[in-house]
Amino acid sequence: MITLTIEQIDILTEFVNIGIGRAAASLNSMINHHIQLHVPKVCLIQKERISHHFPEDFQDISSVNMQFSGEFDGNAVLIFPKESAAKLVSSLTDEPEDSPAMDELKIGVLNEVGNILINGVMGTISNMLQATLNYSVSDYIEGDLDKLLDIGDQENDSILIAETIFKIHDLNVKGSVALFFHVTSFEALLQLLDKEIAA
Amino acid sequence: MNAQFNLLNAISEGACITDSQGNIVFWNQRLEYWSGITATALIGKNIFETFDKFNQQHIKMRIDMLKENSVPIVFSAQLHGYFIPCSLPDGSLRIQRTTLSLLDDHEHILITIQDFTEYIRVNTKQKAINIRLKDELQQRQNLEKQQAQLISAMNQAAESIIIVDQSGHIEYINQTFSKETGWSQDDVLNKKTYQSLHAKKGDNFKKQIKATIRSAKAWQGRQKIKRKDGSLFIASISIAPIVIDHESQVQHAVIIQEDISQQLTLEEQYRNIQKREALSTLVGGIAHDFNNLLAGILGNLYLASREVKELPKTAERLKKVQIAANDAADIVKQLMTFSHTEKVEEYDFPLDSFLKEINKVIQHTVPENINFTLDFAHEKYSMHGNADQLQQTIVNIIQNAVDACQKQNNPTIHMRLNIFNPAQHPEICITHPKLRTGEYAHISIQDNGSGIPLTHQDRIFDPFFTTKQMGSGLGLATSLGVIRHHNGVIEVDSKLNQGTSVHIYLPLKSKNIIPNDNPKELLQEVHILLVDDDALVRETCAEMLESLGYKLTLARDGQEAVEVFKEHSEKFHVIIMDMIMPRLGGLEAAHKIRQITSDIPIIFATGYDQSISIKGAKKFENSVLISKPFHPHNLQEIITSFLHQEQ
């Protein structure tokens, strides 16, 4: 089982924070509301522990998934409780929240939000570590949390989770950016991190 | 260069490829079709300069990030609408989802455009439909709620509610209607008309419903309505047309029906009470005047008869006059009883011995051919009032029953006494609310006689109303007066040729209020001093009292009475004292006796008008004034009440 050193956690937290910061700037310039994004903590869990990690309101989720490959492979996933996703979309579009169900238009908005966040985080990580990565176009997944277990190939994948809080007006929406890594890929990431730390 | 992208002409999405500077190198046929701009016209032009929306700072920033880290960019349809204006025939622009991806050579950017116009159109329409359906659902739910409330309110209404169509067919009845009439929904809905429930055929009620609907004007009235069991009741009915809107024709009417039988009965009873009160006042006034006159006549007759002892013929005539005057006095007495103006003594007496006494009297009143039964609970209750008056009342009623049934086959009179339970007879309590509180004895006298015609039933308590040839018409009037005086209720229930039941309700005192004395033991201890100057009265009265078990000492006038009492004052319990006597009158003698024993009970007896003697007798506490001749039971009751007071 892979564990992170304090230095590794520090540097990853910093990368995620930089990426989220860029994403917030991008979101703020795109819509009329001021959005604050916070990443209180970053942690690493094993894939099979995913349902234990998230609180109960995350059991029914809406998520945006982008696959990446290159020097390390994996999936970057932005996860929201389903009702929170609908609230976030209606806040961003200034439309009344008529139903928690996600239609194609709402999915499009959430996709774009996920795209911006993942773009920020992954772009920062790949830039900082000077890693070349290729990405798929983002897609939308909804259902119970176990659906995320289908992401990736192996059960013992590691997941780097960055809890993210969106603040729009009085609305506080809690989501998570989860980076799913295959074991070998994560080791590659850690090697790059260590190299960066050493530098 | 273009040739390698030609495959993108086959996809259903718009596709454009630029170089890293934004110069357009490929423009697929779908975009040509959507935008109306040919590839030839665009290739080589810069996308940021050609299409303004790409030239926005924050868009360019994101595109720079794409170039920097090659993470594809998604621009949602809802947040951005479109980047490349593509007009639709109606002049609106296609709504697009735009995706930018860096190609593997990191030199070109692929822009793909999905047309979301139709989806948004359908979605918008769907949303509008959903909103409308939601509104309609909400309205329907509100209507259903209102309807449920309305139906619940209608069912809980005290009145019957019926809705009929223009031909009078019943469309709705509430639960009260079913309870009131016995007709269920299945009995009446669309099967029978409301008019058919109307008891009297051939009148214009059916027309009235039609006219109400036709004229759209309300109607009110009273009708007899037939219940399912065939019985009838009078209902107050109002019919109102149901106006849904002012333009449409009235097709239905709502009928509010209220059973007012009880109300009418109460109104009738109230009228009767008013009538009797008025009659009572009138009779009382006349009787009082007559009583005073008769008192004068009788007093003077008594004196005159003493003065004409030497003239036998005159004495004989005076005696006849006296008999007639006494008869007149009896009638006046009864009238005074009816009008409550007669002053009567009241005391507690046990209910069971009261009834036993009545039973003895009845044995002599009811002929042998009539089967008379008496049924009463042997409970130790007592009543307060005048036992004589009540006894006379019951005897009067039994006499009426005897008269009514003696010509019937198997004539029967059944008298019953029980303790009234208001819970078992709510209908009586509605008519007579005072029966709800306190305890009442219920005495019923039932015969199987000829019954009272309906037309007479309202008048039977009126003074001088009689159907008997020799009747005075005062029996029931007096009974009513006595019962009312005792705070009781009297009710008559009679059916022609079936019989009559008279129900008397009298307030009871608490159970066991009178100690369970042995009357004989009590009587043996009572010693009476009887004072009367008339030897016949003295001897007769003494004999009667001795027969009741009292011990007696006799005195011929007041003087003798004072002397006897002075010698043996401790042995006397009660004194019966005549008022007018030679040597020393009753009042003077009483004064002297009271100086010896201040609280000895004295019964003043007078043959004159009581009103003359009352003033003097009233000054004496613990005394009563009674008229001669004495009724033994009356005298016994008075003596007993004095003895209980002493205890």
Nearest chain B residue (CA) to A103: B123
Residues 6+ apart with CB under 8 A from B343: B610
Contact A93 B71 (CB under 8 A): no
d(CA B112, CA B77): 13
Residues of chain A whose beta carbon is less than 8 angstroms from a beta carbon of chain B are: 22, 26, 29-31, 66, 68, 92-93, 98, 103-106, 108-109, 111-112, 115-116, 118-120, 122-124, 126-127, 132-138
| Percentage of the residues of chain A whose pLDDT score is greater than 90 | 4
Closest to B371 (Cα-Cα) out of B411, B406, B405: B411
Q: What is the ipTM of this complex?
A: 0.80
Bridge partners, B120 (sequence order): none
d(CA B354, CA B412): 22
Band of pLDDT at residue B647, cut at 50, 70 and 90: low
Q: Over 50: is that where the pLDDT of B518 sits?
A: no
Final residue in a domain of this structure, among B280, B313, B336: B336
Picking from B70, B119, B131, the nearest residue to A135 by CB comes out as B70
- Rounded mean pLDDT of A93-119? 83
Contact A133 B76 (CB under 8 A): no
Smallest CA–CA distance, residue A10 to chain B, in Å, is 22
Contact A111 B120 (CB under 8 A): no
Q: Over 50: is that where the pLDDT of B628 sits?
A: yes
Picking from A22, A126, A138, the nearest residue to B74 by CB comes out as A138
Nearest chain B residue (CA) to A114: B74
pLDDT of residue B341: 65
CB B111 within 8 A of CB B15: yes
Band of pLDDT at residue B22, cut at 50, 70 and 90: very high
Would you call B620 exposed, middle or buried from its count of C-beta atoms within 10 A (0-12, 13-18, 19+)?
middle
Smallest CA–CA distance, residue A115 to chain B, in Å, is 6
Smallest CA–CA distance, residue A79 to chain B, in Å, is 17
Same domain, B351 and B450: yes
Same domain, B367 and B460: yes
Band of pLDDT at residue B624, cut at 50, 70 and 90: confident
pLDDT of residue B41: 94
The CA R_g of chain B, rounded to the nearest whole Å, is 52
Q: Over 70: is that where the pLDDT of B15 sits?
A: yes
In a domain, B72, yes or no: yes
Same domain, B325 and B219: no
Task: Give the 3-state secondary structure of B406-446.
Answer: CCCCCCEEEEEEEECCHHHCHHHHHHCHHHHCCCEEEEEEE
d(CA B553, CA B575): 10
Residue B78 to residues A95, B44, B164, Cα–Cα distance (Å): 10, 30, 57
Picking from A104, A118, A122, the nearest residue to B119 by CB comes out as A104
Residues 6+ apart with CB under 8 A from B569: B596, B597, B600
In a domain, B121, yes or no: no
Residue A194 to residues A5, A178, B50, B69, B368, Cα–Cα distance (Å): 10, 21, 46, 21, 133
Count of residues making up chain A? 199
pLDDT of residue B520: 45
Picking from A26, A112, A124, the nearest residue to B74 by CB comes out as A112
Candidate ranges B117-126, B286-295, B493-502; pick with highest mean pLDDT? B493-502
Same domain, B361 and B490: yes
**Torsion angles phi and psi, residue B254, rounded to 5:** -105, 135
Bridge partners, B112 (sequence order): B15, B99
Same domain, B485 and B617: no
Residues of B within 8 A of A66 (CB-CB) are: 71-72
Same domain, B352 and B491: yes
Q: Over 60: is that where the pLDDT of B511 sits?
A: no
pLDDT of residue B413: 92
Contact A135 B120 (CB under 8 A): no
In a domain, A29, yes or no: yes
Picking from B74, B76, B123, the nearest residue to A137 by CB comes out as B74
Closest to B437 (Cα-Cα) out of B507, B501, B375, B335: B507
Q: Over 50: is that where the pLDDT of A32 sits?
A: yes
- What stretches of B175-242 adopt beta strand conformation (E)? 219-226, 232-242
In a domain, B228, yes or no: yes
Side chain identity at A24, as an amino acid letter? A
Picking from B58, B61, B76, the nearest residue to A111 by CB comes out as B76
**Torsion angles phi and psi, residue B194, rounded to 5:** -60, -35
Nearest chain B residue (CA) to A125: B69
Smallest CA–CA distance, residue A105 to chain B, in Å, is 6
pLDDT of residue B14: 94
Smallest CA–CA distance, residue B168 to chain A, in Å, is 49
Final residue in a domain of this structure, among B61, B83, B115: B115
Residues 6+ apart with CB under 8 A from B645: B601, B622
In a domain, B148, yes or no: no
d(CA A73, CA A184): 9
Q: Over 90: is that where the pLDDT of B48 sits?
A: yes
> Which has more confidence, A71 or B198?
A71
CA B432 from centroid of its chain's CA atoms: 10
Picking from A30, A124, A126, the nearest residue to B79 by CB comes out as A30
Same domain, B373 and B494: yes
Residues of B within 8 A of A93 (CB-CB) are: 78-79
Residues of A within 8 A of B66 (CB-CB) are: 119
pLDDT of residue B30: 94
In a domain, B150, yes or no: no
How many structural domains compose chain B?
5
Residue B612 half-sphere exposure toward CB, CA atoms < 13 A = 18
Average pLDDT score over chain A:
83
d(CA A89, CA A106): 6
Q: Over 50: is that where the pLDDT of B266 sits?
A: yes
Band of pLDDT at residue B40, cut at 50, 70 and 90: very high
Would you call B267 exposed, middle or buried from its count of C-beta atoms within 10 A (0-12, 13-18, 19+)?
exposed
Residues of A within 8 A of B73 (CB-CB) are: 115, 119
In a domain, A77, yes or no: yes
In a domain, B406, yes or no: yes
Contact B123 A105 (CB under 8 A): yes
| Maximal C-alpha separation, chain A | 52
Same domain, B253 and B317: no
Interface of B with A in 80-109 (CB under 8 A): 97, 99, 101, 104
pLDDT of residue B512: 47
Nearest chain B residue (CA) to A26: B58
pLDDT of residue B529: 93
The pLDDT tens digits of the residues spanning A79-95 come to 888 888 888 888 888 77
Q: How many CB atoms lie within 10 A of CB B549?
A: 15
Residues of B within 8 A of A118 (CB-CB) are: 71
Band of pLDDT at residue B196, cut at 50, 70 and 90: low
- Rounded mean pLDDT of B272-280? 74
Average pLDDT score over chain B:
82
- Tokens representing B598? 């201040």
- Rounded mean pLDDT of A144-166? 76
Q: Over 90: is that where the pLDDT of B105 sits?
A: no
Contact B123 A108 (CB under 8 A): no
The pLDDT tens digits of the residues spanning B433-483 come to 778 777 888 999 999 998 888 888 877 887 777 777 666 677 788 888 888
pLDDT of residue B513: 43
In a domain, A1, yes or no: no
CATH code, domain with A65: 3.40.1550.10
Q: Over 60: is that where the pLDDT of B524 sits?
A: no
Q: Over 90: is that where the pLDDT of B136 sits?
A: yes
Smallest CA–CA distance, residue A134 to chain B, in Å, is 7
Closest to B593 (Cα-Cα) out of B612, B577, B610: B577
Side chain identity at B448, as an amino acid letter? N
How many structural domains compose chain A?
1
Residues of B within 8 A of A127 (CB-CB) are: 68-69
- Domain containing B636 equals 519-646
The pLDDT tens digits of the residues spanning B391-445 come to 888 888 898 898 888 888 889 999 988 888 877 777 777 777 778 777 888 999 9
Peptide bond into B312 cis (omega under 30): no
* For testing contact with chain B, the best of A104, A113, A122, A134 (most B CBs within 10 A): A104
Q: Over 60: is that where the pLDDT of B514 sits?
A: no
Nearest chain B residue (CA) to A108: B76
B13 touches chain A (CB under 8 A): no
pLDDT of residue B137: 94
In a domain, B543, yes or no: yes
pLDDT of residue B615: 60
Residues of A within 8 A of B61 (CB-CB) are: 26, 29
Q: Over 60: is that where the pLDDT of A107 sits?
A: yes
CB B449 within 8 A of CB B499: yes
Count of residues making up chain B? 647
pLDDT of residue A184: 78
> Which has more confidence, B263 or B556?
B556
Smallest CA–CA distance, residue A109 to chain B, in Å, is 5
The pLDDT tens digits of the residues spanning A115-131 come to 988 888 888 888 888 88
Closest to B642 (Cα-Cα) out of B572, B564, B579, B568: B572
- Lowest average pLDDT, out of A186-190, B220-224, B281-285, B341-345, goes to B341-345
* For testing contact with chain A, the best of B71, B75, B110, B131 (most A CBs within 10 A): B71
The DSSP string of A50-83 is HHHHS-GGGSEEEEEEEEEEESS-EEEEEEEEHH
pLDDT of residue B198: 63
> Which has more confidence, A99 or B11?
B11
Q: Which residues of B564-596 are buried (b: 16+ CB within 10 A; e: fewer)?
A: bbeeeeeebbbbbbbbbbeebbbbebbbbbbee
pLDDT of residue B516: 41
Bridge partners, B160 (sequence order): B257
Same domain, B365 and B440: yes
pLDDT of residue A25: 83
Q: What angle do CA B435, B441, B446 make, to 5 degrees?
A: 105
- Domain containing A120 equals 6-198
Residues of B within 8 A of A120 (CB-CB) are: 65
Same domain, B290 and B307: yes
Residues of A within 8 A of B74 (CB-CB) are: 108, 111-112, 115, 137-138
Closest to B557 (Cα-Cα) out of B594, B538, B539, B531: B531
B73 touches chain A (CB under 8 A): yes
* For testing contact with chain B, the best of A112, A113, A122, A127 (most B CBs within 10 A): A112
- Rounded mean pLDDT of B542-570? 87
In a domain, A96, yes or no: yes
In a domain, B143, yes or no: no
CATH code, domain with B425: 3.30.565.10
pLDDT of residue A59: 84
- Rounded mean pLDDT of B141-158? 91
Picking from B71, B77, B79, the nearest residue to A123 by CB comes out as B71
Final residue in a domain of this structure, among B201, B225, B259: B259
Residue with token string 């890929």? A185
**Torsion angles phi and psi, residue B386, rounded to 5:** -110, 105
Residues of A within 8 A of B127 (CB-CB) are: 98
- Rounded mean pLDDT of A122-148? 86
Nearest chain B residue (CA) to A127: B69
Closest to B18 (Cα-Cα) out of B96, B85, B84, B91: B84
Smallest CA–CA distance, residue A121 to chain B, in Å, is 10
- Tokens representing B353? 């011995």
The pLDDT tens digits of the residues spanning B335-361 come to 777 776 666 777 888 887 787 778 877
d(CA B566, CA B438): 48
Residue with token string 């357009």? B24
Residue with token string 């003295």? B538
